[in-house]
Chains A and B, each alone.
Chain A
Amino acid sequence: MVKFLIRRFVALIGLLIAVSIVTFGLFTIGPSDPAADSCGKSCTPERIGQIKVALGLDKPLVTQYWEYMKGLVAGREMGPPGARYHCGWPCFGRSYQDNQFVWDAIKQALPYTISLALGAALIWLVFGVGFGVIAGLNKGKLIDKLSVGVASLGVSLPVPLIGLTLILLVNTDWRWLPYTSGQAPALPWDSGGPVAWFKNFLLPWFTLAAIFSASYVRLTRANMIETMGEDYIRTATAKGLPRRTVTLKHGLRAAITPIVTIFGLDLGGLLGGAVLTEFIYSLPGLGKLSADAVNNGDLPKILALVLFAAFFVIVANIIVDILYAVVDPRVRLD
């Protein structure tokens, strides 16, 4: 087991490094020239050179990459001579846009993304798995057909359609949700308290959860049906175990286990920022931060956010692998 863990951990580091090299390369070798773009009036090559120093772009690429990685792990000194400053671990540099430390910007945005992801996750787990189990156990009956139908529909819903329609309904007719109230998107510890937070996140939660719920219904239902069709279930029933025990203790557990791993992967992906949903509702999370950074050509932020999101995806993958190994010893022999 330990050897397995070590191997996975080494793979994690390797993948992270590979991702960082590729990302760094993509964005620094790109055709955009942030120094020339910031250079406003009377732009001379000399002025561009000065801006490059200010932005730390005057060193060779390999040096830039090395210093960047060093900063990520241990912090580093940055800035032009005479105006050096310390960028603490993890150092993602400063934004080209407003000079803020990118890590600070990420820290600010993270609670919104986590709020969104966790809230939506709760909803889609309850609805998705719940209805999936019910449908799977009642195959062929009305509830099953209905669930499948709605799930198929749900999986096909375009996120902008859901989001904009919800906003439309709330905005024009009811007005009891804060889309036009005096609140900015709030966190539970902000002035509006948990109530404001809840009100602000309700629509985004449902929007994000809609598609996941639908796909989890289908997934759970399929798993449920397959599991309940397995021989050992038939054996258990034949042995005389009460139906409830058979279903819940044996069937459900076997059906749900693969769901857990998929859930881990989905959640990992969301922690990098749900770009579409945050964009539609203007939630200041990592997704919106990314969209804005792309619009503004703010390379330090873009680079940081891609690395950050990749980190979550990779870690989620590793955790899922480990869970699999815990559950299924055969995997460890791989």
Chain B
Amino acid sequence: MNRRRPLIAAVAASTAIVLIASCSSSSKKGGTSGTNPPPPSGSSSSSGGTPSTGPALIKDGYTVKGGTVNILVQANFEHLDPVQNYVTNSGNVGKLIYRTLTVFDDTPGKAPVIKADIAVKSGPGDYIGIPNKDQTVWTYKIQKGLKFQDGSAITAADIKYNVERLFAADVYKDGATYLRDLLVNSNNYAGPYKDPNKDLTSVQTPDPYTLVFHFASGQPDADMMMSLFYTAPVPKAKDTKQDYDFKPVSSGPYMITKYTPNKELVLGRNPNWSAATDPNRPALPDSFDITMGIAPATVSQRLIANQGSDQSALSIDNSSDIQPGDVSKLQGAKDRFVNGAGPCVFYNIFNENKIKDADVRHAFALALNRQAAITALNGTLFGSIPSSFIAANVRGFQPANLGLKDTGDIPAAKALLQGKTVPKSITYGYSQGRPAQKALALQWQSDLKKLGVNVTIQSIPTDSFYKTLRTDPGPVDIALAGWCWDWPTMASIVPPVLGPDATQKTWSTSNFSKYFDSVTAKQITALAGSTEAPATVDQQFATLANQIQTTNWPFVPTQAALNPILVGSKIHNVGVSGIWSLPDLNIIGVEP
């Protein structure tokens, strides 16, 4: 399975969860999805500071329509039903099939910008929706004349219907839930199946082209929240419930023409989609032919070999399934290969409730040979040594002065440990089935041995990895966690990773180090809701985060993930998407 990623989320810090992705192309599920606090008010897009995501595109500038893109993936898509579609690979395909109220413009090489999709930009300034004074009520106007694949008209009622489905929590177990969590729900609405006679009063449709959302609290980033798939229109008459995963009705440029689960998914053009209404989707290829169930090793070899139909192929699996053992063969494929930083940074957390002395944590961080750690995590193709737990392409980024040596600094570590009580034995927990994490564990074992500390390596079943890390104090002392931003601002990263939970009395659920300090907690929360100028807030955030990092040592930044992408020789317009870390299927072109 692919790395799971949320699309965009904007909620209070209390419901934050960390996305932990694997750097290896193993076929395991990725982590849970991340959510983020609201960015500073007034800005729904990033401005200033140009985050660089590395070299932009392979063979860009292509505008020829036609051809079929072959996509090779390891596993079946979990969900194509928009209300449950919440992971990167199926999300990438979902964007081709359905439209949402808003959508991120994600040109590689530039910061993502939120744009109107089904909605019509009607708000003041950069806003797409129209907020009321305290931003609890948001009104969206949608385009007229949009059609489903069968020619029937798309109206506000269809969007409302999908939001209603979101409330059928006992039918749909997966998917983003922000609207369900944040909208007013005074009558305990439980979905259109259980409560066909009740109405979801917090979403109103005064006319067929207007939607009004009532939130329980102010939501400055509602525009971003609306880009998730729960605002994709679903016609009530065609709602097949659990089977909608296999027959979603298209509102986007492509529709499903053939779907054999676990085998093949073919997308063809949606005749009732109008390019004029959808400037965000060039929709160049005529069709997409997705073959599922191919082993990662095979995908890797086929893409490298570039034979026959594979010349129009690519993969939307993590890192294009490139196997570490095949890296040497990429030499001959330079012109169809691109690599770039994405939104993810991985760091080894220290469980502060078990390793209680900040100096000991600092010493451990000093001891780690981060260069070897990069190699353990599959090498320099897949990651680089970071200078902070925050990704370098985040607006207002400032490197922390970590004072660490790339190959580890044992003498300094030993000096720091003088006179301290050092735990004789440490447990490193790795997610089962992640060879890369296992290799990293071995590196820790080797490095900490030099300090006289024994590391016990414990494997944790993938499904309960986060559960285990969250238990307090828990069995694990050190583990690999990570954060992939949903949009590139400090406020979306620092509060969930280092901040408090909703009660302000303890650490938040994504704060796996269990770091908590009442002073910084207040500071973080204040900054998160600050209305000052973005640049000022960014700077204050960065300073605060770096200060916590270098004095408290809750973790040691280990790997800034890179995302190698390899495509067939006939594919054009491929870049590392800043949000997805995958090739963006919407802009791709192919030679027929």
Direct A–B touching in the complex (beta carbon < 8 Å)?
A: yes
Interface residues of A (CB under 8 A from B): 32, 36-38, 40-42, 47, 50-51, 53-55, 79-83, 85, 94, 97-100, 104-105, 108, 171, 179-182, 184, 282, 284, 292, 295-297
Choose from A32, A79, A182, A184 the contact partner of B171 (Cβ within 8 Å): A79
Closest to B243 in A: A85
Beyond contacts A50-B170, A98-B245: 18 other A-B pairs, Cβ-Cβ < 8 A, are A40-B33, A51-B173, A54-B172, A54-B173, A55-B173, A85-B242, A98-B76, A98-B78, A99-B245, A180-B302, A181-B305, A181-B308, A184-B293, A282-B294, A282-B298, A295-B28, A295-B433, A297-B461
Contact B15 A42 (CB under 8 A): yes
Binds A, one of B51-59, B223-231, B257-265, B278-286: B257-265
**How far apart sit A329 and B291, CA to CA, in the bound complex (Å)?**
54
Contact A40 B261 (CB under 8 A): no
B309 within 8 A of A: yes
B contact residues around A97 at 8 Å (CB): 1, 76, 78
| Contacting residue for B242 out of A32, A79, A180, CB 8 A | A79
Judged by a CB distance under 8 angstroms, whether B463 is at the interface is yes
- Contact of B308 (CB < 8 Å), options: A32, A50, A94, A182: A182
B407 at the interface (CB under 8 A from A): no
A99 to B76, CA, bound (A): 10
Q: B293: which A residues are within 8 A, CB to CB?
A: 184, 284
Q: Once the chains bind, are A83 and B295 in contact (CB under 8 Å)?
A: no
Interface residues in B15-43 (C-beta closer than 8 Å to A): 15-17, 27-29, 32-33, 35
Contact of B305 among A38, A40, A180, A295 (CB under 8 A): A180
Q: Is B174 an interface residue (CB 8 A)?
A: yes
A37 to B467: give the CA distance in the assembly, Å.
Answer: 8
Can you list 17 A-B pairs, Cβ within 8 angstroms, ordered by A?
A37-B464, A38-B174, A40-B17, A41-B17, A41-B509, A42-B509, A53-B170, A55-B173, A79-B241, A85-B242, A85-B243, A97-B76, A98-B79, A98-B262, A180-B307, A181-B307, A184-B293
Given contacts A99-B242, A180-B307, contact A50 B169 (CB under 8 A): yes
Task: Digitize B243-283: 1 where CB-to-A-CB distance is under 8 Å, 0 elsewhere.
Answer: 10110000000000000111100000000000000000000
The 6 closest A-B pairs by CB, nearest first: A82-B193, A282-B295, A182-B308, A37-B463, A41-B17, A53-B170
List which B196-245 residues lie within 8 A (CB) of chain A: 196, 241-243, 245
Determine whether B310 belongs to the interface, using a CB cutoff of 8 Å to chain A: yes
Tier of interface size on chain B: 35 or more
**Residues of B contacting A184 in the complex (Cβ-Cβ under 8 angstroms):** 291, 293-294
Min Cβ gap B39→A in Å is 19
Q: Does B177 contact A (CB under 8 A)?
A: yes
Q: Is the pair B242, A94 in contact by a Cβ cutoff of 8 Å?
A: yes
Please give, as numbers and ranges, the residues of chain A lying within 8 Å of B298 by CB-CB distance: 179-180, 282
The reply to whether the CB of B191 lies closer than 8 angstroms to some CB of chain A is yes
Within 8 Å of chain A (Cβ to Cβ): is B356?
A: no
B191 interface neighbour in A42, A82, A85, A297, Cβ under 8 Å: A82
Chain B, 68-83, contact with A by CB distance < 8 Å: what is the 0/1 string?
0000000111110000
Q: Is the CB of A41 within 8 A of B307?
A: no
B560 to chain A, nearest CB (A): 25
Complex: A85 Cα to B244 Cα, angstroms = 12
Interface residues of B in 291-330 (CB under 8 A from A): 291, 293-295, 297-298, 301-302, 305, 307-310
Give bound CA distance, A215 to B107, whole Å. 61
- Give bound CA distance, A83 to B35, whole Å: 29
Q: Determine how close the nearest CB of chain A comes to the CB of B393; give it in whole angstroms.
A: 25
Is B262 touching A108 in the complex (CB atoms < 8 A)?
A: yes
Is B181 at the interface (CB under 8 A from chain A)?
A: yes
Q: Which residues of A contact B78 (CB under 8 A)?
A: 97-99
CB-nearest residue of chain A to B6? A41
The chain A residue sitting closest to B176, CB to CB, is A41
CB-based contact A82/B194 at 8 Å:
yes
B184 close to chain A: CB less than 8 A:
no
The interface residues of chain B lying within 8 Å CB-to-CB of A182 are 302, 307-310
Residue of B nearest to A281 (CB): B295
Assembly CA distance A51 to B168 (angstroms): 11
Are A81 and B173 touching (Cβ within 8 A)? no
**Cβ contact of B1, chosen from A40, A55, A296, cutoff 8 A:** A296
What is the CB-to-nearest-CB distance from B312 to chain A, in angstroms, rounded to a whole number? 10
Question: Would you call B242 and A50 a contact (CB within 8 A)?
Answer: no
Distance in Å: Cβ of A101 to nearest Cβ of chain B: 9
Residues of B within 8 A of A55 (CB): 173
- Report the bound CA distance from A41 to B181 in whole Å: 11
Query: Measured between alpha carbons, how far is A282 from B321 in the docked complex, in Å?
Result: 15
Residues from 392 to 450 in B contacting A, C-beta threshold 8 Å: 433
Contacts of A38 on B, CB cut-off 8 Å? 173-174
Separation in Å of the A59 CB from the closest CB of chain B?
13
Q: Bound complex: CA of A180 vs CA of B245, how far in Å?
A: 32
Q: How far is the CB of B141 from chain A (nearest CB, A)?
A: 31
Report if A179-B1 is in contact (Cβ < 8 Å); known contacts: A82-B194, A83-B168: no
The minimal Cβ–Cβ distance linking A243 to chain B, given in whole angstroms, is: 53
Give the docked Cα–Cα distance between A98 and B76 (Å). Answer: 7
- A97 to B35: give the CA distance in the assembly, Å: 23
Q: Which residues of B contact A32 (CB under 8 A)?
A: 461, 463
Contacts of B461 in A (CB 8 A): 32, 297
Q: Is the CB of B193 within 8 A of A179?
A: no
Q: How far is the CA of A153 from the CA of B245 in the complex (A)?
A: 50
Question: Across the interface, do A42 and B181 meet the contact criterion of CB distance under 8 Å?
Answer: yes
Partner of B32, one of A41, A98, A292: A41
- Minimum CB–CB distance from B157 to chain A (whole Å) comes to 20
Q: How far is the CA of A181 from the CA of B78 in the complex (A)?
A: 27
Q: Is the CB of B29 within 8 A of A98?
A: no
Cβ-defined contact, A41 with B76, below 8 A: no
Closest to A78 in B: B242
CA A184 to CA B302, docked complex, whole Å: 10
B53, chain A: closest CB distance, angstroms: 26
Which residues of B are found within 8 Å of A40, using beta-carbon distances? 17, 32-33, 174
Give the docked Cα–Cα distance between A32 and B467 (Å): 12
Q: Which residue of A lies closest to B302 (CB)?
A: A180
Say how far A112's CB is from chain B's closest CB, in angstroms.
10
Nearest CB on B from A11, distance (A): 36
Residues of A within 8 A of B193 (CB): 80-83
* B261 close to A104 (CB less than 8 A): yes
Contact partners of B177 in chain A: CB under 8 A: 41-42
By a CB distance below 8 angstroms, the chain A residues around B467 are: 36-37
B169 touches A83 (CB 8 A): no
B14 to chain A, nearest CB (A): 8
Q: Please measure, in the bound complex, the distance between the C-alpha atom of A50 and the C-alpha atom of B181, giving whole angstroms.
A: 15
Instruction: For A108, give its contact among B173, B260, B309, B310 (CB under 8 Å).
Output: B260
On chain B, the residues within 8 Å of A295 by CB distance are 27-28, 433
Given contacts A98-B78, A99-B245, contact A179 B262 (CB under 8 A): no
The residues of A that contact B16 with a CB separation of less than 8 Å are 41
- Closest beta carbon of chain A to B507's beta carbon, Å: 15
Contact between A98 and B28 (Cβ–Cβ < 8 Å)? no
B462-481 CB contacts (< 8 Å) to partner A: 463-464, 467
Do residues A98 and B77 form an inter-chain contact, with CB atoms below 8 A? Answer: yes
> Cβ of B291 and Cβ of A171 under 8 Å apart?
no
Give A133 Cβ to nearest chain B Cβ, in Å. Answer: 39
Q: Which residues of B in the span 90-126 have a Cβ within 8 Å of any Cβ on A?
A: none
Please give the distance in Å from A38's CB to the nearest CB on chain B.
5
Q: A83–B241 contact, CB under 8 A?
A: yes
CA distance A282 to B300 in the complex (A): 13
Q: Are B261 and A98 in contact (CB under 8 A)?
A: yes
